[in-house]
């Protein structure tokens, strides 16, 4: 199943699929002057608009990626946003809810 395209990619993998490209996304992240390990919406947007995706799509990606809804992105959320941009640019649909396998490891709720 690991050949599932788009947002389904990596669904059966133990490792977070976004981790593969995270070093590349981290390099961009640290150019956006993160404060306390997070970049503001305005700074992240400057990077995200380079994808040339419409604002409505970027807004949806933001909602999916800003897991704790604090209006900022940490390095994992930023990597996730970039992963979703890539999914969309490859012509795939975005999920309406973030699939569990795309949730960054640090944001996964540990079952009680």
DSSP classification of residue 35: B
pLDDT value, residue 21 = 95
DSSP classification of residue 109: P
Q: Are 1 and 11 in contact (CB under 8 A)?
A: yes
- DSSP 3-state of 33: coil
Average pLDDT over residues 87-106: 94
CATH number attached to the domain at 6-106: 1.10.238.10
Q: How many CA atoms lie within 13 A of 57 on its CB side?
A: 18
In the predicted model, is pLDDT for residue 2 greater than 50? no
Quick: pLDDT tens for 7-18. 888 877 778 999
In the predicted model, is pLDDT for residue 26 greater than 70? yes
Which range has the worst mean pLDDT, 16-30, 63-77, 96-110?
Answer: 96-110
Whole-structure pTM value: 0.90
Alpha helices in 1-112 (DSSP H): 22-29, 41-48, 55-65, 75-89
- Residue 18 burial (CB count, 10 A): 26
Task: Give residue limits of the domains in the chain.
Answer: 6-106
């Amino acid at each position: 199943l690991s050949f599932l395209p788009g947002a389904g990619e990596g669904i059966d993998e133990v490792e977070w699929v976004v981790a593969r490209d995270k070093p590349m996304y981290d390099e961009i992240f640290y150019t956006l002057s993160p404060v306390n390990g997070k970049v503001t919406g305005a700074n992240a947007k400057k990077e995200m608009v380079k994808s040339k995706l419409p604002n409505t799509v970027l807004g949806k990606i933001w909602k999916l990626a800003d897991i704790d809804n604090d209006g900022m992105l940490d390095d994992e959320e930023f990597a996730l946003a970039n992963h979703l941009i890539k999914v969309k640019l490859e012509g795939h649909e975005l999920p309406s809810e973030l699939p569990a396998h795309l949730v960054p490891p640090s944001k996964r709720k540990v079952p009680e």
